[in-house]
Amino acid sequence: MSKLNHIVLFKFKPEVTSEEIHGLFSEVLEMTESVPGIENYSAGPNNSPEGLSQGFTHGLLMTFTDAAARDAYLPHPEHERIRQLLLPKVETAAVFDYEV
């Protein structure tokens, strides 16, 4: 079974403060500690000098034990709770998953 990386890129609405964003990512961190199958989590603001971010300001990476763990995570109540916190603050997002 292959591990799976789950990448989410965010462009937050202009009125969302850095303190709010920090709080949101703290909530995500807490969630990752309670949902089975998440092996690793990291998140932060974009700092690439390449100029290719297409407006995305922040990203996160979760590593799941396998695709089945990711599939179980998607409808998980804690994931849904986080989505409800994030979506009103996000202008756009992109999700990209791949097996490691």
Whole-prediction pTM value? 0.94
- Report d(CA 19, CA 77) in Å as an integer: 25
Nearest CA-CA partner of 17 in 49, 48, 57, 51: 57
Tell how strand 4-12 and strand 38-45 pair up: unpaired
Residue 50: CB partners within 8 Å, gap ≥ 6?
Answer: none
Condensed to tens digits (0 to 9), the pLDDT of residues 51-92 reads: 999 999 999 999 999 999 999 999 999 999 999 999 999 999
11-47 pLDDT, tens digit each: 999 999 999 999 999 999 999 999 999 999 999 999 9
- Position 14 scores a pLDDT of 97
Listed by start position, the domains of the chain span 14-63+86-100
The residue among 78, 62, 57 whose CA lies nearest residue 9 is 57
